[in-house]
């Protein structure tokens, strides 16, 4: 079977499905492979409708900016940074999908590292700043 | 390949007159290839009687451990080939993020829990950690992957030269966190890649549907989950396995019969009983 997910990724999805915080999961290439119900509000669409979203499309869909609303380079996006640097990243950002209103969120992204130090993806948790 | 069940009980050896039919020994399955390769899946208490059938002419045995919970290693110290000089015994087990397989096994195979240490065994002992790439043992190709069960646990997919497939998932909770299991696609289901299209699937079926909600996260499946998993993965023959120590023969007959009647599987189901042999 191609595309079989590693157990930590499956368990991360199961955890995300059971909690109320918005959570996104990306694979090692940065493809968005799951987001939970709470994150559907931020995404504006249900996961069942979009399915997995390739990294390039995902980066185009959502603009991520710093606290001054200056767009972040791809590698500075918290999720991407967590993958590239293999460390947790936590920062406050502005995010916007298409021409919808900006939303300010606090995001914590951390890499999922499996046995034998294998990078599997990253989990990203959002708290909306109100 | 010929697959023989030597121990089908989960969690705790359960000897007694009321468990005689399904058996009271904990997990152990022997896989004999047509070219002579011998694999032993898990080292529960069933491995003692299984080991007694291995003749002195056998010079290599491979023991594949799904994980290191006690019911899967308790019989290891009673495995006769370990005490035969010159016999190669290869033990394969799941990789851990912290301790080597040797260190973890020595916790059991050393005083005060066991009188003989690993270092004292006269056989030629080789320890290997899985998953491993392109693993072949004799005539078998072995695919191992981590599966959903507390602690590092793997399932095995064993393919012979004829393309026949045995999948062994004795301790497995694919329904964890999925209240409507099996609601997700196979690629999002623990163990599904290992079990896809198996000719024989030996799968955890420890609980009844009523018992499972009180044991979520303990790493096991209900009988219905096992049957649904078989359907999801396209298995041709499913063997419910790892029976709860609290279920006697009469209860297992009734509970498994009811689960099968409810699930109406399109594939064959043979409840795991000690001594049963399957030929693939």
Range of the domain at A47: 7-128
B189, B258 Cβ separation under 8 angstroms: no
Residue to mutate among A10, A33, A114, with most B CBs inside 10 A, is: A10
Residue A2 located in a structural domain: no
Alpha helix stretches (DSSP H) within chain B = 47-51, 70-73, 101-108, 192-195, 223-233, 249-263
Residue A99 located in a structural domain: yes
Please state, for a pLDDT cut of 90, what percent of chain B lies above it.
91
B47, B76 Cβ separation under 8 angstroms: yes
Q: Which two tokens stand for residue A79?
A: 């999720």
- DSSP assignment string, B127-163: EEEES-TTEEETTEEEEEEE-SSSSS-EEEEEE-TT-
Query: Taking the model in full, what pTM does it have?
Result: 0.89
In total, how many domains does chain A have? 1
Closest residue to B190, CB basis, from A1, A3, A7: A7
Range of the domain at B113: 2-279
Q: Do A10 and B196 touch (CB under 8 A)?
A: no
Residue A15 located in a structural domain: yes
| Total length of chain B | 280
Q: Using CB atoms and an 8 Å cut-off, which of residues 84-123 of chain B contact chain A? A: 95-97
CATH of the domain at B212: 3.60.15.10
For B138-197, the pLDDT digits (tens) are 999 999 999 999 889 999 999 999 999 999 999 999 999 888 899 888 999 999 999 999
Closest CA to B181 of B247, B145, B230, B250: B230
For B4-22, the pLDDT digits (tens) are 999 999 999 999 999 999 9
Residue A1 located in a structural domain: no
Nearest-angstrom CA–CA distance, B170 and B153:
10
Closest residue to B178, CB basis, from A4, A7, A14: A14
Q: Do A1 and B146 touch (CB under 8 A)?
A: no
- What does the pLDDT profile of chain A (130 residues) look like in tens digits? 557 899 899 999 988 988 889 999 999 999 999 999 899 888 888 898 999 999 999 888 899 999 999 999 999 999 999 999 999 999 999 999 888 889 999 999 999 998 888 999 999 999 988 8
Strand partners, A51: none
The complex scores an ipTM of 0.74
Q: Which two tokens stand for residue B20?
A: 């005689």
Residue A76 located in a structural domain: yes
CATH of the domain at A56: 3.30.450.20
Residue A43 located in a structural domain: yes
Residues of B in contact with A15 (CB under 8 A): 177
Nearest-angstrom CA–CA distance, B97 and A115:
5
Residue A101 located in a structural domain: yes
- Nearest chain A alpha carbon to B190: A7
Section B96-113 average pLDDT: 90
In total, how many domains does chain B have? 1
| 3-class state of residue B213 by DSSP | helix
Query: Half-sphere exposure of B150 toward its Cβ, with a 13 Å CA cutoff?
Result: 8
Residue A48 located in a structural domain: yes
CA distances in angstroms from B12 to B15, B44, B64, B103, B226, listed in the order given? 9, 9, 19, 23, 20
Q: How many helices (H) and strands (E) does chain A have?
A: 5, 6
């Amino acid at each position: 079977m191609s595309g079989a997910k590693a157990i930590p990724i499956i368990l991360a999805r199961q955890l995300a499905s059971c909690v109320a915080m918005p959570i996104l999961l990306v694979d090692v290439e940065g493809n968005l492979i799951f987001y939970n119900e709470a994150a559907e509000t931020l995404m504006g669409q249900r996961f069942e409708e979009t399915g997995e979203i390739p990294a390039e499309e995902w980066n185009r869909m959502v603009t991520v900016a710093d606290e001054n609303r200056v767009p972040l380079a791809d590698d500075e996006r918290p999720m991407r940074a967590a993958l590239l640097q293999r460390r947790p990243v936590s920062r406050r950002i502005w995010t916007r999908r298409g021409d919808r209103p900006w939303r300010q969120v606090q995001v914590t992204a951390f890499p999922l590292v499996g046995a034998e130090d294998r990078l599997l993806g990253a989990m990203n948790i959002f708290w909306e700043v109100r | 390949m010929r697959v023989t069940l030597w121990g089908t009980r989960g969690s705790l050896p359960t000897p007694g007159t009321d468990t005689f039919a399904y058996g009271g020994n904990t997990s152990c399955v022997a896989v004999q290839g047509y070219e002579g390769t011998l694999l032993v899946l898990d080292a529960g208490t069933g491995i003692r009687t299984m080991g007694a059938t291995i003749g002195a002419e056998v010079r290599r045995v491979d023991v594949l451990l799904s994980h290191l919970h006690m019911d899967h290693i308790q019989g290891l110290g009673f495995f006769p080939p370990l005490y035969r000089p010159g016999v190669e015994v290869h033990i394969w087990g799941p990789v851990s993020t912290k301790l080597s397989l040797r260190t973890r096994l020595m916790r059991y195979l050393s005083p005060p829990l066991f009188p003989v240490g690993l270092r004292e065994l006269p056989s030629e002992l080789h320890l290997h950690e899985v998953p491993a790439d392109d693993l072949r043992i004799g005539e078998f190709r072995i695919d191992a992957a981590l599966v959903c069960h507390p602690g590092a646990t793997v399932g095995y997919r064993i393919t012979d030269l004829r393309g026949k497939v045995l999948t062994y998932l004795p301790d497995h909770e694919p329904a964890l966190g999925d209240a409507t299991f099996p609601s997700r696609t196979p690629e999002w289901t623990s163990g599904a890649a290992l079990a896809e299209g198996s000719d024989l699937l030996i799968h955890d079926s420890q609980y009844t549907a009523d018992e499972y909600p009180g044991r979520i996260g303990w790493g096991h499946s209900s009988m219905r989950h096992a049957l649904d998993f078989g359907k999801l993965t396209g298995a041709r023959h499913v063997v419910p396995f790892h029976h709860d120590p609290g279920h006697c023969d009469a209860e297992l007959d009734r509970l498994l019969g009811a689960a099968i009647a409810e699930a109406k599987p399109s594939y064959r189901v043979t409840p795991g009983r000690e001594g049963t042999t399957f030929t693939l």
